[in-house]
Amino acid sequence: MADLSVMLSGIKLDNPIIPASGTFGYGREFSELYDINILGSFSFKGTTKEERFGNPTPRIADTPSGMINSVGLQNPGIDKVINEELPRLKKTFKKPLIANIGGFSVEEYAYCAQRLNTEDQVGIIEVNISCPNVHGGGMGFGTSASSAAAVTKAVRSATKKPVYIKLSPNVTDICEIAKACEAEGADGISLINTLLGMRIDLRTKKPVIANKLGGLSGPAIFPVALGMVYRVYDAVNIPIMGMGGVSSAKDVIEMMLAGASAVQIGAENLVNPYACRNIINELPEVCERYGIKKISEITGGAH
Query: Which of 224, 244, 241 has the alpha carbon at shortest distance from 233?
Result: 241
State the DSSP H helix or E strand holding residue 158, giving kind and residue range, or none if neither: helix 145-158
Catalytic status, residue 131: yes
Distance of alpha carbon 254 from alpha carbon 227, whole angstroms = 11
Neighbour-count burial of 32, counting CB atoms closer than 10 A to its CB (0-12 exposed, 13-18 middle, 19+ buried): exposed
State the DSSP H helix or E strand holding residue 194, giving kind and residue range, or none if neither: none
Distance of alpha carbon 256 from alpha carbon 113, whole angstroms = 28
Chain centre to alpha carbon of residue 83:
23
Taking CA atoms, 100 is separated from 46, 122, 300, in Å, by 5, 10, 25
Neighbour-count burial of 172, counting CB atoms closer than 10 A to its CB (0-12 exposed, 13-18 middle, 19+ buried): exposed
Catalytic residue among 112, 131, 181, 287: 131
Q: Is 71 helix (H, G, I), strand (E, B) or coil?
A: coil
Please report, to the nearest 10 degrees, the dihedral formed by the alpha carbons of residues 87, 28, 186, 169 taken in order: -160
Just list the catalytic residues.
131
